[in-house]
Structure 1
Amino acid sequence: MKLYITRHGETEWNTEKRMQGFKNSNLTEKGVSNAKKLGKALKDINFSKVYSSPLGRTIDTSKHIIGDRNIDIITADYLKEMNLGTWGGMLSDDIVVKYPKEYDNFWNNPHEYTPIDGENFYEVMERASKGLEEIINNEDGDILIVTHTVVIKCLLAKLKNLPIKNLWDPPYIYDTCLTILEVENGEIKFLKEADICHLG
């Protein structure tokens, strides 16, 4: 079994430096183009299913990746981006001014981040890890998973046994970057991590 995990394409709010969380923003032309490039790179992979966050940016990315192939897209709440509560839709510059301590912890001390409302990193790691386990237990073959930065970072940290403190360690999660996991006899092996070769 192989899991192909990617982040959604670039969105309008990404370019405006707005935090997204549970709120949605449309893909930019670049976001659509990058998703199609990933689709081209994966055209020979016979995906049995696609699992996607239910947010619009991930569903649209999923559709651009699979193109005209007839593959079921299953939406799963455990793949949703971190719930940022009040921060959703806010400019990062405004958050820094209004919530300086929380914003600093979010990026520099994620293990100490306490949200004003919404989720902390531990909660995201728990739901995302349980979700990944569910996919592994219920599926086989090649599975595409389309999700978000924090979810991917939490899954990578969990699989590497890294503490939340080290969540933001490299690699950077670029839009449509690809991580491939091979699952065999209960063992999970990294074949690729945050790869962007398809972007040229």
Structure 2
Amino acid sequence: MSKIYFVRHATPDYSVHDDSIRPLTDKGVDDSKKVTEFLSDKDIHKIYSSPYKRSVDTVSDFAKKYNLDIELIDDFRERKISDYWIDDFKSYSKNQWEDFDYKLEHGESLREVQVRNINELRKILKNHSGENIVIGTHGTALSTIINFYKSDFEYSEFKRISGIMPWIVCINFDNDRVVDIEEFICETIEFI
């Protein structure tokens, strides 16, 4: 049995529009310490992360405390919306969840995000059978992973988790078969 702890990043500073370097807010930095507290008794063997700053920074405190390296995996990055900032994110997201192939010019569809994330996850499951792994990730990327294994995780579920940062989802795998999925909010370290 393998346990994968997907850690959606803590609260980012949306005034920085460059997705790859968007930092955490002060609250986000504080909340990353709650991630450390939550993961401290989980016997983690390895940490992977999206290369985006907010994801790396959310798991960095834990990595430092337990002397674990963070291996960056580009295919765990968040989906690219377009080459420009969009103001109506809700309508855009709804369109994407209603049509998994919908995308803006120079952007990615949810299907493309899902395929690259699942491909990387399968490699990790193959290489770390029976281990407990952390993956620093993003809301949309993680939602597409959950949707792959649980097709009723759709737009309404995506909306439900939109403001939960950090958000931890533990998926227990028997080889590459999902046994169960648990959600945790680090704000209160509670099961949801």
The bucket for the TM-score relative to the shorter chain is: 0.7 to 0.9
Question: Partner letter of residue 176 of structure 1?
Answer: P
Question: Relative to structure 2, which stretch is displaced further, 184-193 or 140-149?
Answer: 184-193
Identify the residue that residue 74 of structure 2 maps to in structure 1: 77
State yes or no: 1:183 paired with 2:173: yes
Question: Partner letter of residue 183 of structure 1?
Answer: F
Q: Secondary structure at the match of 1:85?
A: coil
Q: TM-score, normalised by structure 1?
A: 0.81
CA drift at 1:176: 1.4
Q: 1:116 to 1:159 in 2, by over 3 A?
A: same
CA drift at 1:111: 3.8
Contact 1:38–1:199 (Cα < 8 Å) also in 2: no
Q: Secondary structure at the match of 1:199?
A: coil
Aligned length: 182
Q: Structure 1 residue runs of 4+, over 6 Å off? A: none
Whole-angstrom CA distance in 1 between matches of 2:152 and 2:17: 25
CA drift at 1:66: 3.0
Question: Partner letter of residue 169 of structure 2?
Answer: T
Whole-angstrom CA distance in 1 between matches of 2:121 and 2:161: 21
Gaps of at least 5 residues in structure 2 are none
Question: Partner letter of residue 148 of structure 1?
Answer: H
Q: 1:155 to 1:191 in 2, by over 3 A?
A: closer
Whole-angstrom CA distance in 1 between matches of 2:126 and 2:48: 14
Which runs of structure 2 are paired with 1:27-176 in the superposition (5 Å)?
27-87=24-84, 90=85, 92=87, 96=88, 104-112=91-99, 113-140=102-129, 141-162=131-152, 166-170=154-158, 171-173=160-162, 174-176=164-166
Gaps of at least 5 residues in structure 1 are 97-101
Question: Relative to structure 2, which stretch is displaced further, 141-150 or 55-64?
Answer: 55-64
Structure with bigger helix share is 1
Q: Percent of pairs identical after alignment?
A: 24
CA drift at 1:23: 3.2
Q: TM-score, normalised by structure 2?
A: 0.84
Identify the residue that residue 7 of structure 2 maps to in structure 1: 6
CA drift at 1:60: 1.2
Whole-angstrom CA distance in 2 between matches of 1:29 and 1:118: 30
CA drift at 1:67: 3.6
Q: Secondary structure at the match of 2:7?
A: strand
Superposed CA RMSD: 2.3
Deviations 1:158-182 (A, max 9, x none): 011348xx34525415111110111
Deviations 1:11-62 (A, max 9, x none): 111xx5x766x43211111111111111112111221110100111111112
Whole-angstrom CA distance in 2 between matches of 1:109 and 1:85: 13
Question: Partner letter of residue 26 of structure 1?
Answer: P
Contact 1:53–1:59 (Cα < 8 Å) also in 2: yes
CA drift at 1:105: 4.2
